[in-house]
Amino acid sequence: MKKMFIYTAIITMLAIVFAQAAAPTYGTTDAVYEYGGKDYTIAYSAFDTLVGVDSTTLVSNRVFNPDWQYILVRNAITGTGSDSVKIEVRCDALDSDGNVLYTVAVDSLTSSAGEAIFLPVFGTVIGSKVRIKLIGYTGNGGQVILNGFHIYKRRPVVINKQWR
């Protein structure tokens, strides 16, 4: 009888633990994404060239809508240094007058292939305005030609539907 009680208690505790565990992705979003399309185009083709330790500003004093999430999408990088790309993507949170509040290193570009980068606007970058910069941090002597940059927007949407 005592063993039966212990086994029942263990099974009950395990059932409670497994019932409490949920997939973290559903727990944090519980939504589907609505894509708002292209929000801003920085360049369709060759935009700028970085040589060694250099920088360029992609977006300056931009006011973003807090209802959306933003994704920076870039085309492939070309040039004589495209095989050894080392570029930091940085967001500066600015106040309403354009003064820098703080800086967040968002991601690194280490490949010449195109990619998409989530911009943490209203996440870790909170300010009235935002400046997005690319900062090269290698002095390999080659040049990196930046091609095509766009900012897309999306937002999580919860769908409530009664099934009949």
Q: What one-character DSSP code corresponds to residue 125? A: B
Element (H, E) at 3: helix 2-20
Domain holding 37, by residue range, is: 32-157
Share of the chain above pLDDT 90, in %: 38
Residue 68 in domain:
yes
Phi and psi at residue 108, to the nearest 5°: -125, 140
pLDDT of res. 10: 66
Residue 117 in domain:
yes
Structurally, how many domains does the chain consist of?
Answer: 1
Residue 8 in domain:
no
Residue 26 in domain:
no
Residue 93's DSSP bridge partners are 102, 130
Residue 32's DSSP bridge partners are 157
CA 142/CA 80 separation, integer angstroms: 5
What does each C-alpha distance from 37 to 63, 73, 148 come to in angstroms? 17, 12, 16
pLDDT surpassing 60 at residue 164: yes
> pTM of the prediction?
0.74
pLDDT tens, 12-71? 665 554 444 443 334 455 778 888 888 888 887 787 877 777 888 999 999 999 999 999
Residue 103 in domain:
yes
Query: Please, which pLDDT band fits residue 130 given cuts at 50, 70 and 90?
Result: very high
pLDDT surpassing 80 at residue 113: yes
Higher confidence at residue 51 or residue 90? Answer: 90
CATH number of the domain where residue 130 is located: 2.60.120
